Structure 1
Amino acid sequence: YGLVSDNNPGSQKTPVGNLSPEPATEASSSTGVVPTNTSLPNITLPTETIQPETKDAKVGLEATLSQGSNNSNQANPVILNVYRADSQCQSLVSEQVSVPVGNSVNTVVGKVLETGNSSDFNVSGYRVKVNANTGVATVDLRLSPDSQRQFVSLSTCEQFALFGSLRKTLTANSQLNIKDVRFTEQGEDIYL
């Protein structure tokens, strides 16, 4: 289950959930390739539609922000670490952000996705569902119909920047109570 990497012909598919969030190095890389001087694509963050009654939210480009009439969550934000790949795609760098308590998981996912789109790769929305019993978050990503590239065409660096950043951000913030992360595209596991 989850994101699976199959970069080498004849290699066994390994769920990304079992991989460390750190990037592969030349000595331990499953691909034998170390990204060098790779620039990261930029993501344009879609506007959020929030369903405050549940831990399931859907985000789309044409949606509008709706947090209901209770503004008490904005008065008491929580500080979380958002992790992004460094410019050499070798490690994840944290940045503290303030997010509303009532919608912290969805907001922090949106913060990570702010920098991942490019002219030919466009995540147009996402949905996050957290199983409170198991601590597993499922991040369902939606590509724009106009996106020329798919998840399978992302470079090792782009995969690390997108999936590694999301995984580390969600699991490293203890306030979120997330132990593991699955990635899907329209409900289907993402395989690379």
Structure 2
Amino acid sequence: MKMNNRYFLPFMVVAIASLSSCSSKPTSTTNTISPTPAPSMAQLRAKPNNTKSQAVSGKTVNVTLYTSDIQCQELVPQNVAVPATEPVTNAVGKIIQGQDTADFSLSGYRIRVKNGVATVDLRLSPQSKRQFVSLSSCEQFALFGSLRKTLTSNTQWKIKEVRFTEKGEDIVL
């Protein structure tokens, strides 16, 4: 069977145009971490404006982060390098970065260490649909347990106790 190019070519153009205009909407909204993640809004808000000195010096220190295992039974140590200028703040930022979900989001945090007591002041994002009290025991363990263990186990920081606040008020769970 011989095809007439006069009819075949317009058909192909229409077919290609139709295929290229197809779009699909995502079925869910999930945050994914790229191989080299950009700093989260929480990290950007928590860090003082010293990124220029970090970029110039490039100095890092190794710290041990503790994150929850998949069953929320244990905190697993992981050695990571963080900028040497603000190691405590940067370690907290790395833990918080993994805590955002589709309905729970932090927009910032502040760290204050005084007399061996670290106060981690957390800020919920205005778009967060859930509050701290609505976190499951697993989510609480992953967030608060990871932060507490990381801050108290890195002995170079001399932190003995960790308190959690939201906008200056104690977080009561």
Q: Deviations over 1:49-96 (max 9, x none)?
A: 5xxxxxxxx52xxxx873165449944321100110001110001111
TM-score for the superposition, normalised by structure 2: 0.72
Given residue 125 of structure 1, which amino acid in structure 2 is its aligned partner?
G
Summarize the Cα distance change of 1:148–1:65 in structure 2 as closer, same or farther, 3 Å threshold: same
Say if 1:42 and 1:69 are closer, same or farther in 2 by CA, change over 3 A. Answer: closer
| In 1, Cα distance between equivalents of 2:106 and 2:75 | 21
For the pair shown, which has the larger CA radius of gyration, 1 or 2? 2
Tell me which residue corresponds to 2:156. 175
Measured at CA, do residues 42 and 184 of structure 1 come closer, stay the same or move farther in structure 2, by a change above 3 Å?
Answer: farther
**Matching of residues 42-191 of structure 1 within 5 Å:** 45-46=40-41, 48-49=43-44, 58-59=45-46, 66-67=49-50, 70-71=53-54, 74-131=57-114, 134-191=115-172
Q: Cα RMSD (Å) of the superposition?
A: 2.5
1:23 match: none
* Inter-partner Cα distance in structure 2 for 1:145 and 1:91: 31
Higher mean Cα deviation, 146-155 or 65-74? 65-74
Aligned-partner residue type, residue 128 of structure 2: S
Unaligned runs of 5+ in 1: 1-40, 50-57
Distance 2:51 2:123 in 1: 25
TM-score normalised by structure 1 residue count: 0.65
Shift of 1:45: 2.9
Secondary structure in 1 matching 2:85: helix
Unaligned runs of 5+ in 2: 1-30, 34-38
Of structures 1 and 2, the one scoring higher in RCO (CA 8 A, sep 6+) is: 1
CA offset digits 1:104-130 (Å, max 9, x no partner): 010000011111111111011100011
